[in-house]
Structures are given as C-alpha cells and as structure tokens.
Amino acid sequence: MKKITRTIWILSLVSLFTDVASEMLYPVMPVYLKEIGFSILLIGVLEGVAEATAGLSKSYFGKLSDVSQTRLPFVRLGYMLSAISKPMMAVYVFPLWIFFSRTIDRLGKGIRTGARDAFLSDEATPETKGRVFGLHRAMDTIGAVIGPGIALLYLYLYPGNYKTLFYIAFIPGVIAISFTFLIKERKPGDQHISLSSASIFSFVDYWKKSPSTYKKLLIGLLAFTLINSSDVFLLLRVKEAGLNDTSVIGVYIFYNLVYAATAFPLGRLSDRIGFKKTLALGFVLFAIVYIGMAFGHTHYLFFFLFLIYGIYAAATESVAKAWISNITDKRDTATAIGTYTGFQSICTMIASSFAGIIWLKFGAKATFLFSGIVSLLVVVYILKMFRHPKTSANS
C-alpha cells in the first residue's frame, strides 16, 4: 500500500498556507461587505457569481491539465492569482471592483483545483484515496483555524479595522506559492497544451461521455449543492442571534478545528466502510445542523451545531472527490473532478442567490429549514441508487 508521499505533504502545506490567507478574511467578509454597503441579497449574489466563475474554470483547466498531462503549472498559477486577490479587496470598495477581486480569487481556485486533485489521486492507490484526500483536507482546514485565529487577535487589538487584514493575508499567500517550487513533476514527453482541446463548457462535453455511475453520483451531489448555500449565511445567522464579531470568528475557528481533526479519520473510515455510507452520514449531519439553525437561539447550541457541521464537512467534501477519482478513468481525473466542481459551483450560485431571496422574503428560519429537509431526501437517493456494490468502485 502506497504511503503518504512527499508530493502529498507539499501540496497539503500549500493548501494550508493558502487557507490561512483565505480564512483569515472569510469570517469577517460578511461584516466587511455590510459595512461598505452590501445588502444580504447582494452578498448572496456576489458569492454565487464568484463560485460560478470558479466552477466554469475548474472544468476548463481540468481538461487542459488532463490533455497536456501536466499539473504543476496550473497549480502554481492558481495559487498565485488567489494570493494577489487579497490586497485587491482593500484597495477600493466600489461594488464592481469587489466583484472583480473576488472573481480573481475564485478563478485562481478554478485553475488549480482539478490539477491539484489529480496530483493527489496519482499519488494514491484506489484503497488509500479516502485517507489521502482526507489528509489534504485536514491540512487545508488547519489553515482555516490559524487564519481566523490571526484575524481574532488582530481585531482584538484593532477593533473594526478590517482593511489591513486584507493586506496581511497576502503574506501566507506568498509562502504558499513558494512551496509549489519544491514540487517535482514528471515530464509529459512531447505532449503540449492545446487550447482547442477544451472549452469553458468542457464539463458539459464530459458529462455526455462519462460513466453512468459517475452521472448517478453527480445527480445526488448536485441536488444537495442546490440547497447548500455559502457558509456566509451560517455566520450571518449567529451574528443575527446576538453573537459579537469575536464570537462569530470564534465559532468559525471551532468549526474548522473539528473539521481538521476529523477529516483524516473520516477519510480512513471511508476507505474501510465505503464512500456511500460516509457521505450519507455527512448529509444527515448537515440536516441536523440546518434544522437546528432554524430553531436555535442560545450561543451554546450554536457552538454544538458548528461541532456537528465540522464533522459533516469532513465526511463529505474529500470523500466525494475520492469516490469520483475511483469511478473514472485515470486519464480523466482532473476533467471528472473539474466537471463535478463546475456543475457544483453553478448550483452554489443558484443556492446562494436563492438563499438570499428566501431570507429576504421569509426570514432565516425558512432558509435553513428548507435546506435541512431537502438534504434528507438526498440521503434517500444516495442509499437507493448505490445499493449494489457493482455500482461503485467503493460504495
């Protein structure tokens, strides 16, 4: 059984420092956006458009990575764009500039994601995919603990001074880029990148020719994504319930601590009991959290719900990618994951925008209750469609 390789560790460190930069800003982003004049609805549209940009570019650059049989250039460029987008958010506060800066950040994510995940898949065996993706997610999420921690300390010393945080976030981004120069990649021979071999809608082309098992899995995953809006709404919910800025960041740090602590163990568990059971468990936990958010009022309950939410996240994201990489051809790994994340980001755009509308018209309770109930229907679908072992490489 292949061990955790040097490349896996380096990619995990790159993600760690990138998340330090990104997550330093994430919990204060909704507060910052509201301060400069963004409404709840506009925040939802901003997050949706940004994620849609990431999704469309993931499929396109994933396809280019598979065709060229190279991963490193896409990984390096993607992390570079995300790093420079951080200070851009603080230069101007005009809505169009904020949209542009946020889109640059998500474009960087789109460029790197398929190639990076294919890198991870290539370094693993079918029997170790869960733990490899789980380790990477754990390291990534440790960054999501450190980042908000820095933000918490800074805002304690300088309350309300959000702009400087965007400049500080540039530093770990540069460190992440530096680590990419330690990665060695095998040369693909005479093959080269052909722009004509992929289009911005590569995910549509791949969907048409993809295996039936892959399609069945994506239907369930994307149905779930349609009701899984940005985590910004969870943070706004606890803010609305009376938590101050420090507590909002604190609960987000707590969530990421749980996420980081459970990602690798749940990845190993998925290698043992199967991806289907692990994923279904995660969706059930999601339902508990969202229904709890609809009715919850106390601070203690919110912390408990974020504990469950951390376990849900660890049981779903990396497990879904590991499952996809096991049921598709190795030559199409970046394209398959890019197609999934491409559709996923479009669904996220719809989900975030829709959540903003429901919140505006009917309130927070209706927003969370709707998502929680529908997620249980997705659990039924996953369990029903993958009842037989032959429908999946690891069900």
Summarised one tens digit per residue, pLDDT across range 134-162 is 888 889 888 878 988 888 888 888 887 88
- Model pLDDT, residue 16: 94
Tell me the pLDDT of the chain (395 aa) as tens digits: 457 888 899 999 999 999 999 888 876 777 777 777 777 777 777 776 776 777 778 777 887 888 878 888 899 999 999 999 888 887 877 778 888 888 888 889 888 988 888 888 888 877 788 888 888 888 988 887 898 888 888 888 888 788 888 899 999 999 999 999 998 877 654 455 555 555 566 666 777 788 888 889 999 999 999 988 878 788 888 887 777 777 787 888 888 889 889 988 998 898 888 889 999 999 999 999 999 988 877 878 888 999 999 999 999 988 888 899 888 888 888 888 888 877 887 787 788 778 888 888 888 888 899 999 999 999 999 988 876 544 445 55
pLDDT at position 201: 62
pLDDT at position 330 is 80
- The predicted structure's pLDDT at residue 237: 85
Q: What is the pLDDT of residues 241-264, one digit of tens each?
A: 777 777 787 888 888 889 889 988
Phi, psi of 44 (to 5 degrees): -65, -40
Q: Is 69 left (phi over 0), alpha (psi -120 to 50) or beta?
A: left
Q: Is 170 exposed, middle or buried (0-12, 13-18, 19+ CB in 10 A)?
A: middle
- Let me know: does 379 contact 280? Beta carbons within 8 Å: yes
How many C-beta atoms lie closer than 10 Å to residue 157's C-beta?
A: 8
**CA angle 17-145-88, nearest 5°?**
50
Q: What integer pLDDT is reported at residue 79 of this predicted model?
A: 93
Length of the chain: 395
Model pLDDT, residue 80 = 94
Q: What domains lie within the chain, and their CATH numbers? A: 6-182+200-391 (1.20.1250.20)
Give the pLDDT of residue 198. 57
Residues 296 and 305 sit within 8 Å (Cβ to Cβ)? yes
**Nearest by Cα to 227 from 353, 86, 105, 111:** 353
pLDDT, tens digit (0-9, with 9 covering 90-100), for 215-246: 899 999 999 999 888 787 888 888 877 777 77
- 203-236 in b/e burial notation, b at 16+ Cβ within 10 A? beebbeebeebbebbbebbbbbbbbbbbbbbbbb
The whole model's pTM is what?
0.76
CA distances from 13 to 106, 313, 338 (A): 19, 20, 22
d(CA 187, CA 189): 6
**pLDDT at residue number 2:** 52
Per-residue pLDDT of 183-195, as tens digits, reads 887 765 445 555 5
- Helix and strand numbers (H, E) in the chain are 17, 0
